[in-house]
Structure 1
Amino acid sequence: MTKFKSFVLYTLLLLALIATGLSGAAWYWVERPVAMDTERVDFVVESGSRPRTIAQLMNKSGIKINEDAFVALARLTGRDTLIKAGAYEAVRGDTPRALLERMANGDMSQTQITLVEGWSYQRIRQALEQNPQVKQTLASVSDEEIAQKLAITESSLEGLFYPDTYVFVPGSSDFDILRRAYHAQQQLLASAWEERDPDLPLTKPYDALILASIVEKETGHSADRQRVAGVFINRLRLGMPLQTDPTVIYGMGDTYQGRIRKKDLTTDTPWNTYTRGGLPPTPIASAGKAALLSVLHPEAHKFLYFVSRGDGSSEFSQNLADHNRAVSKYILGRRN
């Protein structure tokens, strides 16, 4: 905008302000920082909101602004029809003109939420429910309905939402974030599957997602991840049961109290990989990219067993005798 046009607009604004009964000092109102109760105020402009409604909203939110003057400023600058719905922030020092331009340009405030690797679907839902910036729309929506909305054909929603940090505009819905996480997981899975190693004992991408979720829960030690994946790949090739505790825990559901007992290992559930061969029917958690790539590019070796050393890393063995010795050293020895 040229200086001449700005002068004309401000002159018209001054006349409008005077016509509304305000003093001539209102000329300075356009560039004078608004008074605020706090250093920062967040507010949400709903679709179709008029300038006066927005001014009233800002006042209620703690941004002290003259409603008539704001309406006049919006109309005279032609921005009354350009204001975009969304979440905005006002910070101390903002002027009425700066706030109006921000809304006209759609310069919305953003926040973020992190979905963590290894989280269950229920933990993801809980994080969305507890975030005050997320609009809640799924409280009365069943998992089956969510699956239909996303065109999901799998029997469970577990493991289908990619763990990552998602930047969003405050007021975005829980479903919007779930949809983004689902599509992110599908895109990663499709591309990673195309680049997989040959001759893996996995018949479809969903198998890779299931195994990746197990690797995700078994180790957080990046140096061991591909080796752990290799153990499970070797077992699948030989027809050995996976015998992995995280699947047992998942199958126990709410009955798990922080410790697996011997009877839990022999209590059959669809996810108990001690009582059943092959992969469990669904993922047991949300697997990150590193876990997924580890099962599609596992380390080639002859290990069939591993046990935690207690420091995050694992001890690997090729036979049961060596594994039992490792268990005595790292598990039984730690208990004594």
Structure 2
Amino acid sequence: MKLRKIIALVSLVVVIGGSIYGYLVYKDIFSENTAFSEDRVAIYIPTGATFNQVQDSVKPYIADMERFNMVADKKSYPQYVKSGKFILKRGMNSNDIINALRQPVPVNISFNNQETLERAIGRIAQQIEPDSLTLLKVFTDKTFLEENNFTEDNLLSMFIPNTYEFFWDTSALKVREKLAKEYRRFWNEERLAKAERLNMTPLEVSSLAAIVHKETVKEDERPRVAGVYLNRLQKGMKLEADPTVIYAIKRQSGDFDQVIKRVLNKDLLTDSPYNTYKNQGVPPGPIAMPDISAIDAVLNAEKHNYIYFCASTTKPGYHEFAVTAAQHQENARKYHAWVQKLGIVR
């Protein structure tokens, strides 16, 4: 009888002990283990990272690292660390956190309104893992340029401003492949046919579109401005676009941060293949990254007889257009008087 009581007592102790242990394990795994007030935080784990690096990355956001480490070991996470961007949500338990660290989330990257290839690539590098030097080396690879009929001067044309989805740890090569694919998709049969009717290549269209983009921020005016430049090309005239002079000055000085609000007569003498006051045709590459509306403005330019235009003094952001030089000179006279009144020298 005593033996039965002893066995029963031992069994009860074992059951109670097991229950307590089970409760503690359950608590370690499934109780809240975050330490941040935001709804969610992003964690970035670099390619080839070790579990120690993961610990360093998540430590500011974890309430109890011992519980986190225990669950990580039980789920064999240290042996299978994944790189990428991960999202932790407030109130997650250790099990949720480990599961989240196994599910990388995509990032949306954009790079519109960049004036140079280097700046476009730098903007991309701010949003994904590969650095700007690695990306620049891949994009300017000689074989890639030759196979795709690009040069370093016109490569910016390949960057169609949009929002693109990547995983944060996407390699530089895969970034290049996707953007090249998107460029080819953008230049579909319809756009190619329109370019051909203008007797222009897609690269020439992009170079002209960059000028149109710089000339006016008003999307509804861009087809009219594009029509002016196409008229000049058809008549064998130089484009004589002030934005190309500004770009030439910046390119020669290497200072793309300088602000030039007014082009002076001496600036028109700037010796550069980008200066359309000195050179015939479109520049050897875009003077900025044209957005899609500017490219389509060239492809769908307004049909008219205008040859000249200058900034309007009565419609901010817009321009006054003219067919004859005399009309243009009158418009220009009003504009220069207005600029002098404002005291704009450079």
TM value normalised by structure 2 = 0.76
The Cα of 1:124 is off from its aligned counterpart by: 1.6
Q: Which residue of 2 aligns with 1:306?
A: 309
The Cα of 1:143 is off from its aligned counterpart by: 7.8
Q: Which residue of 1 aligns with 2:28?
A: 29
Q: Which residue of 1 aligns with 2:208?
A: 211
The Cα of 1:275 is off from its aligned counterpart by: 1.3
Output one character per residue of 1:203-251: Cα deviation in whole Å (capped at 9) or x when no partner.
x221111111111111111111101111111111110111101111222
Task: Compare 180-189 and 271-280 and name the one that shifted more.
Answer: 180-189
CA pair 198-141 structure 1, distance change in 2 beyond 3 A: closer
State the AA in 1 paired with 2:55: Q
Aligned to 1:196, the other structure's residue is in SS state: helix
Match of 1:318 among 298, 320, 323: 323
Aligned to 2:164, the other structure's residue is in SS state: strand
Q: Which residue of 2 aligns with 1:161?
A: 159
In the TM superposition, 1:244-259 aligns within 5 A as 244-252=241-249, 253-255=251-253, 258=260, 259=262
Match of 1:188 among 182, 186, 189: 186
Residues of 1 paired with 2:197 and 2:136: CA distance? 41
Task: Compare 304-313 and 224-233 and name the one that shifted more.
Answer: 304-313
Match of 2:273 among 270, 274, 277: 270
Contact 2:109 2:127 (8 Å CA) reproduced: no
Contact 1:36 1:62 (8 Å CA) reproduced: yes
Aligned to 1:315, the other structure's residue is in SS state: strand
Q: Which residue of 1 aligns with 2:6?
A: none
Q: Which residue of 2 aligns with 1:243?
A: 240
Residues of 1 paired with 2:47 and 2:111: CA distance? 29
Residues of 2 paired with 1:24 and 1:111: CA distance? 39
Residues of 1 paired with 2:139 and 2:84: CA distance? 30
Residues of 1 paired with 2:318 and 2:36: CA distance? 52
CA pair 303-48 structure 1, distance change in 2 beyond 3 A: closer
The Cα of 1:133 is off from its aligned counterpart by: 5.1
Residues of 2 paired with 1:265 and 1:211: CA distance? 19
Residues of 2 paired with 1:246 and 1:333: CA distance? 20
In the alignment, structure 1 residue 96 sits paired with structure 2 residue 90: no
Contact 1:41 1:90 (8 Å CA) reproduced: yes
The Cα of 1:319 is off from its aligned counterpart by: 0.8
CA pair 308-22 structure 1, distance change in 2 beyond 3 A: farther
Contact 2:45 2:84 (8 Å CA) reproduced: yes
Output one character per residue of 1:168-204: Cα deviation in whole Å (capped at 9) or x when no partner.
43444566555544432332134453341774242x2
TM value normalised by structure 1 = 0.78
Structure 1 or 2, whichever has the larger Rg, is 2
Task: Compare 318-327 and 167-176 and name the one that shifted more.
Answer: 167-176
State the AA in 1 paired with 2:72: F
Aligned to 1:159, the other structure's residue is in SS state: helix
Residues of 2 paired with 1:143 and 1:35: CA distance? 40
Q: Which residue of 2 aligns with 1:42?
A: 42
Residues of 2 paired with 1:46 and 1:218: CA distance? 42
Residues of 2 paired with 1:61 and 1:191: CA distance? 52
Q: Percent identity?
A: 26
Contact 1:166 1:177 (8 Å CA) reproduced: no
Task: Compare 306-315 and 94-103 and name the one that shifted more.
Answer: 94-103
CA pair 142-59 structure 1, distance change in 2 beyond 3 A: closer
Residues of 2 paired with 1:197 and 1:270: CA distance? 23
CA pair 208-101 structure 1, distance change in 2 beyond 3 A: same
State the AA in 2 paired with 1:243: E
CA pair 264-22 structure 1, distance change in 2 beyond 3 A: farther
The Cα of 1:122 is off from its aligned counterpart by: 2.9
Match of 2:219 among 222, 235, 238: 222
Structure 2 runs not aligned, ≥5 long: 1-14, 342-346
Q: Which residue of 1 aligns with 2:9?
A: none
Contact 2:46 2:129 (8 Å CA) reproduced: no
Match of 1:69 among 68, 71, 77: 71
CA pair 207-149 structure 1, distance change in 2 beyond 3 A: closer
Residues of 1 paired with 2:252 and 2:271: CA distance? 16
Output one character per residue of 1:42-95: Cα deviation in whole Å (capped at 9) or x when no partner.
323456778x658735653432342123322x15xxx88887542212121112
Match of 1:135 among 130, 134, 138: 130
Q: Which residue of 1 aligns with 2:228?
A: 231
State the AA in 2 paired with 1:33: E
Task: Compare 241-250 and 171-180 and name the one that shifted more.
Answer: 171-180
**Higher helix proportion:** 2
Q: Which residue of 1 aligns with 2:109?
A: 113
Count of residue pairs brought into register by the alignment: 309
Structure 1 runs not aligned, ≥5 long: 1-14
Contact 2:195 2:202 (8 Å CA) reproduced: no
State the AA in 2 paired with 1:120: T
